[in-house]
Structure 1
Amino acid sequence: MWNRFTTNVQNKGRLVCRPIPSRSWYHLPPAILSITCYIASLIILSLLNAIPAAYADESICTETTGTLIDDTYFSVFIQQEMVYRVYLPPCYDSEGTPYPVIYLMHGSNRDHTQWTERLGIHEALNRGITSGAFPPVIVVMPYGGWIANENRFEGNATWSNIFLTELMPTIETRYHTNEQRALGGISRGGFWAFNIAFRFPELFTAVGGHSPFFDPGHYPAAYNPLNLAESAPNIDRLRIALDRGADDYAWYGIDLMDEALTRRGIAHTYTVYPDGEHEDAYWAAHVMDYLAFYLADWVTPLDLPDIQHTFDTSNSVDLYLPVVAFSSRQTSIDSQRLLRVYSGLPDFDLVLNDTVANALQTHGIAIHPVTSVVDDETLLTELWNNPTHYTLLPINALSPHLRPLWVDDTPVLTSDLTHYPFIFPGTLYDPSRMTRIIFSGVTALGRFTREALMENGVDWAVSGIQDYVISADYFHTSNEVSFHPLCPNADHPVMGGLCAMDEHFSLFEQLDVDVMELSGNHNNDYGFEAYIRTLRLYQQAEIATIGGGETLHQARQPLIIEHHNNRIGLLACNWSGPDFALATDSQPGAAYCDLNWLQEIIPTLAEQTDVLIVTVQYAEY
């Protein structure tokens, strides 16, 4: 490999459950009897739904707003009139196709009006449904009152029992619903949503918690969502979403839920927005995202176009990529989603700048009116403030503050672009000149990493990324420690405690590492001889090195890669020391980030290369 371098998503009958004087039910508690009867009704109703509905003449809906209704039901269990607010979609039809239902609960010091008056969810629903982005849906917002703030979990007089055996049957008798339900809530309401959904996952398709309040020791384990996440059966059938703002005081319990679901291998999403506290302003800012999550399973599949470009996509083209803020947890986007945008359909997470919106329209792409279009200068801030948002940018407009998304879990630039939508005749991108370099960041085969390697072996360690990294033209990593034959022991005084074992060097060879950066803090921990010996190991394996060397002069040498008619420069240095880790005229180590040297060499290298990449070993946080 050294030769690659020159230098270095019907109707139904109504059933009523009544007590049956049968000994088979005798020993069941009334609450369990009610829930069991209700679940049995739902199973029968789902069978009835399999009978084809009579043909109904469905006209086009011209209404643009839904209807908000406040109504009541009587709770036998607490002998109290209970209030709820319901949203009915535009052109609600009580005899046509039945509607799915979202049940949304309020926070502890709020009521059934929170989701509408404080968060504006009805306006978001109107916008989404009339634009075609959301399917018509019924949304129920119950008032839990005092009972929802009580930690009652057993017997009849509990909020979960009232919700399941009194509210839900009332809603699904009064309104034209089908068997599809989602459940969510804010803060205390989020707690109840997970408490109910995790105990009765067969009743719901999705559950969401928006700053949900979870506490590991505050509730009995049989009813605590954190414990249910560890052991409740069948919760993997649910789509699960969690979110909070970075400054939310309830972060600890939400993090625990994320960790519990992750340990169990339960698929879920957890979004931490960079701004936002435990308050209405935060939830209002993300209500459209919440609806998109709940409604994802109920969006009617569209017959989207099969892209057939009439030009040769293997030559120079103008290529636009889906891009997010570098801090976003998104990694991939579904190709069907991009096809919706390409077809002029709405995507509420898409944000375009003026330049790109105009360019796409010039290429014949109809930008849906709901698409957010911002000034070029505002786009970056918009993406960083909203990590679920994405944009489309020409390939030459990418920056380190942004990160291109994969499509269907595959990098766009390694795919056949014949069926990719956002590619047009032009000159911005020439596939024949592409050079792919993967930067893994810093590694150190010491401490717990070394112990894991000793226990599981090198083959195990490389298996997670091997196929990915060897697909690149060049693979760069930064190793912070030197190899020593006696590691983790030593036969001489050491300057630091980190080293790597010789038998683990093959990890770099199996990963086909091309460039090893030596700007790390610990390469001299086991002494200068270990450093120089490790340099020889890299040379023997034909691994180029940057950012470190036997002397300061060698450590400062750039690496120039010539590939596909490209000249790419790599330069590295250490910003933070310590002193014994830095190279001098007579001591091996890392090149210190001397500003005078950088101010001189960077402009020079920039003139000599097409792309210059400077990497820095900076302070650790």
Structure 2
Amino acid sequence: MKKDILFCLGILFLTGCSFNGEIKRSIHNENENPDSTSTQAAESTRTLVPTNLPVQLQILWISPAVPSELAQSAISSGISIAASPELATIRLDADKNMGGLNVGRSTWIYAFVAPFPSLQDGIKMEDLTLAWMGDATSSLSDSPVWMDGSTLAALTTLWGKPNPTFNVRIAQPEDILDSAWNVQPSFAIIPFEQIEPRWKVLSVDGQSPIRKDFNPETYPLKINFSLVGEAAQQLGVALPGSNRDPEKMTTLVMTGVTALVRATAYKMEIKGRTYPGEAMRDWLVNADITHISNEIPFAPECPYPELVNYTLFFCSNPLNIELLEYIGTDIIELTGNHFQDWGSAATLFTLDMYNQRRWPYFGGGANLEDARKPITLEHNGTKLAFIGCNPAGPDFAWATETEPGAAPCDWDWMKTELARLRAEGYLPIATFQYYEGYSVWPGPAQKADFQKMADAGAVIVSGSQAHLPMTMEFHNGSFIHYGLGNLFFDQMDYPGVGTGTRREFIDRHVFYNGKYINTELLTAMLEDYSRPRPMTEQEKLLFLSDIFEASGW
């Protein structure tokens, strides 16, 4: 390979040529309105910037079907670009029985997406291909499906031109997201690398590329691209094997209130320590990082649980930590306002239990300095940081210079820390034990405080205080969820909100190659005062409809 590269470099030196790798796309479409359903975009062409290379050195032609990231990968190898396939000795194109010598195959994963507040979870590949062919029985026959010119060209290579009745909409990659949000219900087909938080990634035949159990071998929405031509092997052009590498992905699940007290603790005594987590375990243990916000201290002298505790001073049997082990806990949040309920000795005892299990904690600690320390970690190339505080009190719950407790909120300190962490390459997650209001809507103060953290650099801002699930929003590129609801707590109902406290969110955040790319909302329903289970489809539909409407979506 080195000899071949030196040979090519020698030719370039002798001819005094330079390479201009810039590529521009032009979409051939008589109707300039991006809402046009015209399929003439299938004739998309790639316009090449003229270079001063001799014809004999223009060796690679890149098909209009090739996604921009793959095209740039080929160009970055320094190979000259041909203005047409006839002038090329090598072609990079969608791989569909192109003939000749095919090398350097790259499998490109595409995602079928919708705006984040979509209520649809997935599609069948058959529905998509039927809609493409113009079959009115397809569930996708009426909604627009957005894509860029290269995606349309690639799919056309595989499936033929779409039927004129298929509601395809063509836009530049940077415009597709806003276009889809502006016309709902709406869908899009995008390369995996274009996934971002305001999309909802829908499964295709039960598979989603943002999940850890994704199998690219059986996933249908993918396209192979290959280098074709006798000269391909001699030049040794290296293409990426795929645009999705599982070794670059990290999943994080964030949860709401855990309080192993009252009826929840009683159920654990009579039905087993792991009983509350048995229906939800897979969601929690399968994440790379599982966050638990445990508000309650463990205490050796904790009395047998009472079904009703009117004092609201809580402790938990140390044996109950088996539940946290069972669900795969990785990090512990300690911003809760009950953390000091049983006194400093119990709080320090609890911290020691976490340390023995090597569970890092944040938002609380042995003293103020310890409570303010963020967790920092790195997984699969993504650096994450967790920082939290408690603005609500009461005073005795807060850590001091000499006593343990939750970190009190100092907004200037939080903003400074977030900026520092972001500057060091971390993606910060900020959490709060905010004032509890039993409302799905945040008050003006909560909204302002959470948005300040996003503005300071937090990519995710999460409310850990809410017993009633709350609204969410995207702000300045960050995802804000004002309250997730309970995880393990016995509130089957509450005055004024009825059974709304049974509803629960678990937020599964996805990071890829050092970027926050998406959030998947997992929904649960509390049973038996202790044991959440995945919602039924009807329960989930009603729950998300309520929250999305309240969120202004």
Q: TM-score, normalised by structure 1?
A: 0.43
Higher relative contact order (CA 8 A, sep 6+): 2
* Structure with more helix by fraction: 1
Q: TM-score, normalised by structure 2?
A: 0.47
